[in-house]
Amino acid sequence: MSQHSIKIAIAGAGTVGNGVLDLLLKNKVIEKYNISIVAIASRRKISRNNIKLKNTKIFKDAKSLLSFNDFDVLIELIGGEEGIAKEIVFNALSKSKRVITANKALISKHWVEIKRICNQNNSSIKFEAAVAGGVPIIKIIQEFLSSNKISKIYGILNGTSNFILTDMLSKSLTFEKILKKAQDLGFAEADPSFDIDGVDTAHKLSILASLAFNINCNLKKISIEGIRGIDLVDLKYSYELGYKIKLLAVTYFKSNNLLCSVYPCLVNQNDIIASVDGVYNGVVIESDFCKKSFLQGEGAGAYPTATSVLSDLISISKKDTNDFNLNQKIIKHKNLKLSERFGGYYLRFSTIDKSGVISDITKAFKKNNISMKSMLQRDREPGSRNATIIMTTHNCYEKEIVNALKKINSLKNVIRKTVSLRIENFK
């Protein structure tokens, strides 16, 4: 237990902020770790009914925290890569305060600058809650695997997208219908773009890559694709072939070459990451001595995220300030393009059902060094001349697939643009 009380100021009392207050007050965290809540800044009304908040200063505007100095730790739960969130965090760090944040956008964009400010002012920042909610992925990288060399990280980092893909397959419903369900249940925002377009996942991936490989990986270095274009038929065909479609974050670092991408892809049903369904997140970390480490848990919500926030606060109470590997210089690296990716592919062709079509497709494959692995062909519908052909390929370079599809999509018997999805085989 701490000898001296840790004074905390909380900025933001929305969903996560209220979760933090609940855990602090209801589970006796305050008493156990000698924590005092000296200030709360929130546009929402804060009740003083709890005796533990009787002496707490209540500010209606977070800007008030810029001139308020009577705290040890700032807990920033406002969000946003710029604006008042950035202002109060940078202000606290410049005053040698400690900061805890769930703000993935802020950490992702300002990684280098935050590191510099911490070094100059002997301050520190913790951000467990910024990635994967209640999954302690940051601590695993910073502490448990600190003796290992991490080579690859992949996983599901957005519960909303995972819920949509899971329910589309299990309920046999379209993307639009499941998205509406997710919004009704509160899993998706009124504007779900951040989640379904892969941006939320990319922010989290940039933090993991930067931390694991000691680099600066911002959003500009990440290839991002979302799940808007995923069709129910492809989920079903993929499952028939032994796969599930997941929105994955994938990064690996080898010989100072970085590949960092977010995209929907097929994963083998027997792979551990394929078992992560619904709103859950799951992450695999590959390292030299520990091999594969797998973590799974709720990736969002008030209490999982609040648990991560308080985990950081408890670490601070125990004098643990490990956060940014501050003394390590950022490694310069080359960013690999997605065209350099080497792996398998799932392809769905819509063609006129006549002889020579498959031959024309395989000719384009041969010219671009692509080998077919499996094929499904469905009977055409009554009264229709259209056919559906499903193929998977052996490993090849993405640029070879792109070139082959340019030729295939120009064929007179191919009636729609070919659906192409990557296959990730994690051995």
Cβ-proximal residues to 64 (8 Å cutoff; 6+ apart), any chain: 41
Nearest to 59 by CA among 72, 38, 77, 41: 41
Cβ-proximal residues to 385 (8 Å cutoff; 6+ apart), any chain: 352, 353, 354
Residue with tokens 């065209």: 339
Nearest to 59 by CA among 36, 48, 43: 43
On the 0-12 / 13-18 / 19+ scale of CB atoms within 10 A, 334 is exposed
Question: Do residues 245 and 266 lie in contact, with contact meaning Cβ atoms separated by under 8 Å?
Answer: yes
Cβ-proximal residues to 239 (8 Å cutoff; 6+ apart), any chain: 169, 269
Catalytic residue among 97, 104, 139, 204: 204
Backbone angles phi, psi at 288, to 5 degrees: -70, -40
Instruction: Compute how many other C-beta atoms are within 10 angstroms of the C-beta atom of residue 291.
Output: 9
On the 0-12 / 13-18 / 19+ scale of CB atoms within 10 A, 303 is middle
On the 0-12 / 13-18 / 19+ scale of CB atoms within 10 A, 44 is exposed
C-alpha span between 251 and 248 (Å, rounded): 10
204 catalytic residue (yes or no): yes
Q: Which residues are catalytic?
A: 204
